[in-house]
Amino acid sequence: MYALVFLVFQTEVSELLEQKAQLGGDDGKQQFVLKTPKGTRDFNPKQMAVREKVFNTIVGCFKRHGAETIDTPVFELKETLTGKYGEDSKLIYDLADQGGELLSLRYDLTVPFARYLAMNKITNIKRYHIAKVYRRDNPAMTRGRYREFYQCDFDIAGQYDAMIPDAECLRIVHEILSELDLGDFLIKVNDRRILDGMFAVCGVPDDKFRIICSTVDKLDKMCWEDVKMEMVKEKGLSEEAANQIGQYVSMQGGMDLAERLLQDPKMSQSKQACAGLSDMKQLFSYLKLFQVTDKVVFDLSLARGLDYYTGVIYEAVLTQAGATPAPDGEESPSVGSVAGGGRYDGLVGMFDPKGRTVPCVGVSIGIERIFSIMEKKAEAEKVRTTEIQVMVVSAQKNLLEERLKLVTELWNAGIKAEAMYKKDPKLLSQLQHCEESGIPLVAILGEQELKDGVVKLRTTATREEVDVSRVDLVEEIKKMTLVV
């Protein structure tokens, strides 16, 4: 009772303090805090041009693999998200209770996808979904970690022969990262069943699997000694069990490692581990056919935090020097990680009233990190933010009407064209605008041109000018902008 009242007062006080901070001087005029919410950002036109290019590459790949696309609302019923994210549930954004349903912003695209499949009784689909998701995490925006960020997900749902869809997901990661040309990368693969089997044979008690798994997941940013200490000191694991885990999680390889572990006296005692290892062998045989084994490594230290994975898991990391952040002391989860995913055969069943399952495997491209890298690359370059092909300008005064008539002719012909919104702009400032914004052609109108029924067409790059008959103008522009 007292606790409740206290909570209310706490909220009131923090609101008052916030309101006070937002009220500026004594002039009574409210001072707005001109900012976007913590952990979010605007995209300016140049960033949008980069973003469009990245999306085109990714969507092009998804379409090459025959994916359809769907969309879901930005918020879901709160209960839809409940119990799906383990510890991370505290990072979910809730909407205020304004009467009606209790809602939360989506935390990822996977749970809404599973809800969509169950709700529409879909048992087979290959779909991609590109949309923003929301996490009340501690933002680290300089390295591309935001509270509002894009996910680009590709998932295959359906009962198929083992490991073929899983291999295609890895092929997709390989295609996208190669095409985006982000530098060298590596795709680490493991299997939830191999992890669980390993924990079992190493003597981890059943009820500690998940927390020990979370600790293993930290190996990408902590050394083994620290991880071991956490296992023993904080999680209460025996030193012996920790040491045995330590031997396994240092192993990396390919199909050969899977074969070796199938013969391992300890590991082979676990049925689960054996199932995972056999599938891993199968996976690598398909990866070879898909020509991607050069970048894929079976790595027993890969754990991935999410609860819902049931089989294969994977994560792609950039391995070049520039990809690792500066050692500024700030926490950096999964350094250089740009894609991740895995198999989650149980999630759809959590939504189905009769518990019917739909096996699923998918991958999520960590696009914000890729934006950061591409934006840095683009800083030096001149990126066009419009696609205007022709600017209609005039050399003399009182030709606004003629300019607007001509620009209308061009729009009618589907040409991307513009004219300045001024009655009598200076010729020089119009030409300068073309050079600065990279508009390839200029259509110049003057008294003489109007009399002669021509337009002077200027190529911005070369400053060459040529008179073109008004009737041939559209064709000429189309020809020239193909070449330019």
The piece of 203-211, 268-276, 347-355, 440-448 that touches a copy of itself (CB under 8 A) is: 347-355
Q: How far is the CB of 160 from a copy of itself (least distance, A)?
A: 4
394 binds a copy of itself (CB under 8 A): no
Instruction: Out of 109, 111, 118, 273, name the contact with a copy of itself by CB under 8 A.
Output: 118
Does residue 33 belong to the site contacting a copy of itself (CB under 8 A)?
yes
Q: β-strands 441-445, 454-459: how paired?
A: antiparallel
Of the pair 243, 285, the CB lying nearest a copy of itself is at 285
CB closer to a copy of itself, 40 vs 459: 40
Cα–Cα distances in angstroms (integers) from residue 310 to residues 103, 105, 138, 159, in the given order: 28, 25, 28, 15
Q: How many residues are recorded in the chain?
A: 484
Q: Is 453 in the site for a copy of itself (CB under 8 A)?
A: no
106 with 72: CB under 8 angstroms? Answer: yes
Q: Which of 20, 26, 96, 225 binds a copy of itself (CB under 8 A)?
A: 96
Q: Should residue 263 be labelled a site residue for a copy of itself when binding is judged by CB under 8 A?
A: no
Question: In terms of CB distance, is 372 or 385 closer to a copy of itself?
Answer: 385
- Closest separation between CB of residue 161 and a copy of itself, Å? 5
Q: Could you say which residues in the range 60-89 bind a copy of itself, by CB under 8 A?
A: 63-77, 79-80
SS3 83: coil
In the bound state with a copy of itself, the residue whose beta carbon lies nearer, of 260 and 426, is 426
Q: Cβ 93 to a copy of itself, closest distance in Å?
A: 6
Sites for a copy of itself among residues 268-307 (CB under 8 A) = 286, 289-291
Among 26, 42, 328, 464, binds a copy of itself (CB under 8 A): 42
- Tally the C-alpha atoms within 13 A of residue 283's C-alpha that lie toward its C-beta: 33
107/305 Cα distance (integer angstroms): 14
Options 230-238, 271-279, 370-378, 402-410: segment touching a copy of itself (CB under 8 A): 402-410
Residue closer to a copy of itself (CB basis): 30 or 462: 30
266, 269, 270, 273 alpha-carbon torsion, rounded to 10°? 60
Candidates 102, 461, 466, 484; binder of a copy of itself (CB under 8 A) is 102
- Residues paired with residue 154 on neighbouring β-strands, in sequence order: 128, 363
Phi/psi at 354 (5° precision):
-100, 10
CB 234 to a copy of itself: min, Å: 26
Residue 8 Cβ, how far from a copy of itself at the closest point, in Å? 5
Residue in 40, 123, 268, 459 binding a copy of itself, rule: CB under 8 A: 40
7/11 Cα distance (integer angstroms): 6
Phi and psi at residue 73, to the nearest 5°: -65, 155
- Three-state DSSP class for 444? strand
Quick one: 228 or 343, whose CB is closer to a copy of itself? 343
**Spatial separation of the C-alpha atoms in residues 249 and 225, rounded to whole Å:** 12
Distances (CA, A) of 12 to 143, 270, 398: 35, 56, 63
Quick note: the x/- pattern for a copy of itself over 136-175, rule CB under 8 A, is: x-----------x-------x-x-xx--xx--x--x---x
Comparison of 72 and 324: residue with beta carbon closer to a copy of itself: 72
Q: Does 386 bind a copy of itself (CB under 8 A)?
A: yes
Smallest gap from residue 171 Cβ to a copy of itself (A): 7
Q: Please report how close the Cβ of residue 118 comes to a copy of itself at its closest, in angstroms.
A: 6
Which residues in the 211-250 window bind a copy of itself by CB under 8 A?
none
Scan residues 412-431 and list those touching a copy of itself (CB under 8 A). 412, 414-418, 421-423
User: What DSSP string runs through 259-319?
Assistant: HHHHH-TTGGG-HHHHHHHHHHHHHHHHHHHTT-GGGEEEETT-----TT--SEEEEEEE-
Residue 199 makes contact with a copy of itself by CB under 8 A: no
User: Cα separation of 226 and 233, whole Å?
Assistant: 10
Least distance CB 4 / a copy of itself (angstroms) = 5
Determine if 119 is a binding residue for a copy of itself (CB under 8 A): yes
**Strand stretches in 292-445, DSSP E:** 296-299, 312-318, 337-343, 360-365, 390-394, 417-419, 441-445
Distances (CA, A) of 298 to 12, 88, 123, 283: 53, 27, 30, 10
CB 76 to a copy of itself: min, Å: 7
Among 20, 26, 98, 329, binds a copy of itself (CB under 8 A): 98
Tokens 């970048």 -> residue = 295
Of the pair 263, 291, the CB lying nearest a copy of itself is at: 291
Q: Which of 271, 329, 342 is nearest to 302 (CA)?
A: 342
Cβ proximity to a copy of itself: between 164 and 395 the closer is 164
Report d(CA 406, CA 282) in Å as an integer.
64
